[in-house]
Structure 1
Amino acid sequence: MGPEEKAATILNTTFVRPAEFYLNGFINVPHVQYFYIFLCFVYIMTVVGNVFLLTVIYLVKTLHTPKYMIVFNLALADLCGSTALIPKVLDTFLFDRREIIYEACLSYMFFVWFFAGLQSWTLVTMAYDRFIAICFPLRYHNIVTKPAIAAMLMCVWVFLLILTASMAGLLDQLSFCGSLVIQSFFCDHGPIYRLACNDFSPNYKIAYAALITLIFMPLLLIVMTYVCISIALSRIASAVERLRALKTCSSHLILVAVFFLPLVGTNLAVMTSYIHPNVRILNSTLSHTIPALLNPIIYSLKTEELLKSVRKLAKDLGLPT
């Protein structure tokens, strides 16, 4: 056996794991320090908004309904997802600590993608709630029950845990014997597995499976749901009733647009054309952070039931309304 064949045999039987990776995002971006300040503001407001929403839903007994179980789950996903991403991004780039330990990098990737997937599938669960409410209004309280929604959300959590753990586990089967520079603003799955020097075809396959499962499939299901809702609304004779029913979906539609359009646009652009790395990184950063900031604001301002609950809670606590 020649030296090259022997080296290949050793590489196939022994995983070469680095001590750390180097995050290479935000290189040569003019005035990037202002963007970091903006991200800090986004994170503070995200925490305040989502903690406020979680607290109101928890304290107001009238909001202990299946619908607000889903809203609670979305706010929790927003809060945890932002906490998993933004503080580490600020620590990495604002304080120039770009080296990240191998195990910490895989954990970082796991939590960012897990909570992004949780946001995505919670929006699907919201669409299901609106679908039953409008298409089967008389059976709504029999179908959309607390146990049913709890079971759906639990299935989402378990499925996403398995998927993201599989993504991290397959990365751990790779050998890294060349560059250790990750071309992203966080330990993203794609930029990591492309650094490997052994066969990464399983990682490539699970990356596309995750992209379809976490972004495109949820969006397709939501679109199909609203097609059915549109058909049901077209059968309602009164324009006032149609408008009233559509108004109950307005908050959800805004959430869907805010979450999916930037993600789908960025991923399609990356797959079909060339985008400067800094533009891709800035777009991806905003796609991962802005929805979590806007979700509690949209629900607070667009949902009359929640506004009434906030006023009632403030009155009970002796606060000015």
Structure 2
Amino acid sequence: MRLVFAGTPAAAVPTLRTLAASHDIAAVVTRPDAPLGRRRVLTPSPVARTAEELGLPIIRAARLDDEATGRIAALRPDLGVIVAYGGLVREPLLSTPVHGWINLHFSLLPQWRGAAPVQRALIAGDAVLGASVFQLVPALDAGDVFAARAVDLPEAATADVALEVLAEDGARLTADVVDAIADGSAVAAPQEGEVTLAPKLSIEDGALDWSQPLDAVFARFRGVTPEPGAHTTVDGLRVKILDAVPSRDEQKLEPGAIVAAKHALLIGTATAPLAVRRVQPAGKPAMTATDWWRGFRRDDSVRAGA
């Protein structure tokens, strides 16, 4: 199969590598180099770096406009494959490849259509996550599904860990679908079930609400870590929470109450405490939560979230 691959972040790299091993990648479409770090150095996307390593032609495009469409059409691809590119594929590009475009999406469709499926699924407390490969259509993540698979995740996996697992498994799933399209055995079925949406997260989505039960607080922590980041306020100071686990301590604390333990800060929820192990106060480097707490000027009335 002669493919055009579109993707940008690290989560798209396993699929690119897998397809490049057995198919002709006519071009890799990715977003332009972006300024990163304090010095704002222009940096290629993870997909661009991988394409360069593999010696594949690269089309850098902020959006799939007429120019990008013309360059892709000139390649006469059999199929387009897209994984987290970061832009919409519209007509006439949608119909340019012989078999159109397929999309690897990190959810069990029709659950969690949108930009942040893994994060939203974790926040919602979903017990099972997965990946789907579907035919791209104009409507958001609404095309017929060729294949879907649930994936076992490490216990208490945060969004970045979950996405790594799904990206590896999804690469194999996508390769199977591409092979099936190539030999004419692929069959896609309409999506069935309740549709849920997964809009992009904002910084505000990372705020932990200590009045909720521990399960809900920890689920949000998992879903927003590392981006946009879990955080709370303490005495008016925003503190980013980098590492936390449900506490094994059976003591009951008032929501937001903070108690220092041996290796963590225990912060009360509506049920059991959350054990916070590593934090980053605003304007300071990351540190252990207990080190930060020892140096923080406070009194017994200080609460998280206030």
> If the length of structure 2 is used for normalisation, what is the TM-score?
0.24
Greater strand proportion: 2
Greater helix proportion: 1
> If the length of structure 1 is used for normalisation, what is the TM-score?
0.23
